Amino acid sequence: DGGITQSPKYLFRKEGQNVTLSCEQNLNHDAMYWYRQDPGQGLRLIYYSQIVNDFQKGDIAEGYSVSREKKESFPLTVTSAQKNPTAFYLCASSSDRGFNEKLFFGSGTQLSVL
Amino acid sequence: GESVGLHLPTLSVQEGDNSIINCAYSNSASDYFIWYKQESGKGPQFIIDIRSNMDKRQGQRVTVLLNKTVKHLSLQIAATQPGDSAVYFCAENIRRGKTGGFKTIFGAGTRLFVKA
């Protein structure tokens, strides 16, 4: 089945620690995205990538880093500089072909601070 | 810094009734609008879309209405079922500018409760 796989489902971070969230897609989509969702709120864009080896900051990139070495993979690292990392993180992909692109989302990773 | 948490608007309906979820968008140049459904603990899923040159589009039990004059979008769900309980987001696609392509701007979302 084609889709987007995020792992792990739940992740705990100790203070001062960097953690990496995995996102893999087999939809052959060019564009991939990371969103943050806080309880009772909408989605805020962290980073996006339209092509391999290239990525752009979204609205709340501070304290996060990404890489796009392969088309299928777009891992997100939450660094120790992110002082309030507890949130639900969503990865998405799209064909990015034009104005009518639709986002396909993974099941999310819940990150909590110990 | 982080924003203060806000409570999502909530709509509570009786099973079998029709639901109407409303959304105001901001960019008059948006060409395309989408509704997503997010069930608890999952990622959003596409429900239905509409282009800016249309004012109504129907799917299976769902209808989207677009009023460009007042920049308003609505999602109507017919004969609402318990499985429709979720958070619903409207979204608009706008041009990114320098980097090309389009980006999706999400609304705040509405939580739908369906009472059995």
The 10s digit of each residue's pLDDT in B32-88 is: 999 999 999 899 999 999 999 999 999 999 999 999 999 999 999 999 999 999 999
Position B99 confidence tier, pLDDT thresholds 50, 70, 90: low
User: How many CB atoms are closer than 10 A to CB A58?
Assistant: 18
Return contacts of A53-62, CB within 8 angstroms, 24+ apart. A56/B99, A58/A33, A58/A34, A60/A36
Cα A26-A32-A33 angle, rounded to 5 deg: 135
pLDDT tens-place string over residues A35-68: 999 987 889 999 999 999 999 999 999 999 999 9
Mean pLDDT (chain A) is 93
Which tops the pLDDT comparison, B29 or A28?
Answer: A28
The contact set of B with A (CB < 8 A) is 1-3, 5-8, 31-32, 34, 36, 41-46, 49, 51, 89, 93, 95, 99-104, 106-109
Indicate the DSSP class of residue B55: S
Identify which of B14, B7, B5, B9 has the alpha carbon closest to the alpha carbon of residue B90: B9
| Nearest CB to B32; choose among A39, A84, A100 | A100
What pLDDT does residue B27 have? Answer: 83
Is there a contact between B6 and A41 (Cβ–Cβ < 8 Å)? yes
Which chain A residues contact residue B109 at CB under 8 A? 41-42
What pLDDT does residue B3 have? Answer: 32
Check A42 against B106: CB less than 8 A apart.
yes
Q: Which of A49, A99, A107, A112 to mutate to test the interface with B (most CBs of B within 10 A)?
A: A99
Q: Please, which residues 61-100 of chain A have a Cβ atom closer than 8 Å to chain B?
A: 84, 90, 92, 96, 98-100
What pLDDT does residue B96 have? Answer: 75
The amino acid sitting at B67 is N
What pLDDT does residue A1 have? Answer: 56
